[in-house]
């Protein structure tokens, strides 16, 4: 049986030119990764899910989440989806993906063609002319990967919203966390560089002050997560809870996106972020014998 995620992938590949994909920093989520990401959300008790998919592409992440919902794995009765996608060449594929779920009377999707950074930052900074956004309960993201120039409009908009960061992927995550209500969950696949890069320290400070890390998944192969797009960066999947208290962090590993050798362990938060570490480095243990040394 072909899933909604696989249909989305097929439609998206037809819609995207490689050059334009590079210009926008787009890397599309393989079906197995999308399904794994959707599986990380805890069911919760809310009746209405307000889902954010920022940088939705052809809708593979939304489809994975909605597949889980229609299968009965979530408790909520209604899903209201905001799918942001600035690339209008993908809107047809995105609409086709979401149309497969519109026979469900309690599914209300909105495709937003707006620039997510400007729209979210305007709303969060209190701009009187901003487009109103809800408090989301869930966010699922594969954000674009591209550096933000220090003099760019995006950088200025982010500063007005209280976010200081150097790449589109971390900007998307920070804004998505800010848009979540208390207890809201975010799952994102992003480069590992934010964990210890010096330029990402303000981002780490901000995120760790706003949310608790609940799960980190590490791909042991640097080349397999986005092998069809020739991405060589090391990527992780991270689950955050807005307003959550730091607690045990689940860390899972697999060689690639088949998840055939998936291994999972739990670690205390003080082994993920060392107490007293002014840089707020995020350590990702890779074995149950991992011990951080505080010097």
CATH code of 162's domain:
3.40.50.150
Note whether residue 107 is domain-resident: yes
Is residue 178 in a domain? yes
Q: Is the pLDDT of residue 294 over 70?
A: no
Express each pLDDT in 80-98 by its tens digit. 999 999 999 999 999 999 9
pLDDT, tens digit, for every residue of 17-60? 544 444 444 567 899 999 999 999 998 878 999 999 999 999 99
How many angstroms separate the CA atoms of 197 and 84, rounded? 28
pLDDT score at 8:
56
22, part of any domain? yes
**Is 224's pLDDT higher than 70?**
no
Structure tokens at 259: 């998840």
Q: Is 207 a member of any domain?
A: yes
Q: Tell me the average pLDDT of the chain.
A: 88
Q: Which of 191, 260, 200 is nearest to 231 (CA)?
A: 191
Q: What percent of the chain has pLDDT over 70?
A: 83
Say what the pLDDT of residue 142 is.
96
The pair of structure tokens assigned to 272 is 């993920």
Number of domains forming the structure of the chain:
1
| Domain span holding position 142 | 4-26+40-213
Pairing of strands 211-219, 136-141: unpaired
Is residue 49 included in any domain, yes or no? yes
Specify the pLDDT at position 247. 97
Counts for the chain of helices (H) and strands (E), in that order: 10, 9
- Helices within the chain (DSSP H only): 4-15, 18-24, 31-39, 60-70, 91-99, 116-124, 153-160, 168-179, 201-210, 269-272
274 located within any domain: no
Mean pLDDT to the nearest integer, 132-150? 96
**264, part of any domain:** no
* pTM, full prediction: 0.87
Residue 74 lies inside a defined structural domain of this protein: yes
Q: What is the pLDDT of residue 226?
A: 47
Given 3-state DSSP classes, what are the helix, strand and coil percentages for the chain, each rounded to the nearest 5?
A: 35, 25, 40
247 CB-near residues (< 8 Å, 6+ apart): 212, 214, 269
């Amino acid at each position: 049986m072909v899933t909604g995620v696989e249909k989305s992938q097929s439609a998206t590949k037809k819609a995207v030119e490689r050059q334009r994909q590079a210009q926008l920093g787009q890397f599309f989520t393989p079906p197995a990764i999308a399904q794994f990401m959707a599986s990380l959300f805890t069911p919760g008790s809310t009746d209405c899910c307000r889902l954010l998919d920022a940088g939705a592409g052809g809708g593979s992440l939304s489809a994975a989440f909605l597949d889980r919902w229609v299968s009965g794995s979530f408790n909520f009765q209604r899903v209201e989806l905001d799918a942001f996608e600035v690339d209008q060449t993908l809107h047809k594929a995105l609409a086709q993906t979401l149309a497969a779920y519109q026979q469900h009377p309690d599914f209300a999707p909105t495709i937003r063609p707006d620039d997510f950074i400007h729209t979210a930052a305007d709303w969060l900074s209190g701009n009187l002319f901003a487009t109103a956004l809800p408090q989301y309960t869930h966010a699922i993201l594969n954000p674009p990967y591209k550096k933000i120039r220090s003099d760019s409009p995006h950088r200025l908009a982010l500063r007005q919203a209280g976010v200081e960061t150097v790449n589109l992927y971390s900007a998307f995550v920070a804004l998505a966390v800010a848009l979540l209500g208390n207890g809201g969950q975010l799952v994102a696949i992003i480069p590992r560089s934010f964990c210890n890069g010096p330029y990402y320290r303000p981002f780490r400070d901000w995120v760790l002050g706003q949310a608790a890390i609940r799960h980190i998944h590490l791909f042991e192969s640097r080349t397999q997560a986005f092998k069809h797009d020739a991405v060589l960066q090391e990527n992780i999947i991270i689950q955050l809870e807005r307003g959550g208290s730091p607690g045990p962090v689940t860390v899972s590993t697999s060689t690639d996106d088949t998840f055939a050798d998936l291994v999972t362990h739990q670690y205390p938060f003080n082994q993920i972020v060392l107490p007293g570490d002014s840089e707020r480095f995020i350590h990702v243990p890779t074995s149950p014998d991992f011990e951080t040394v505080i010097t």
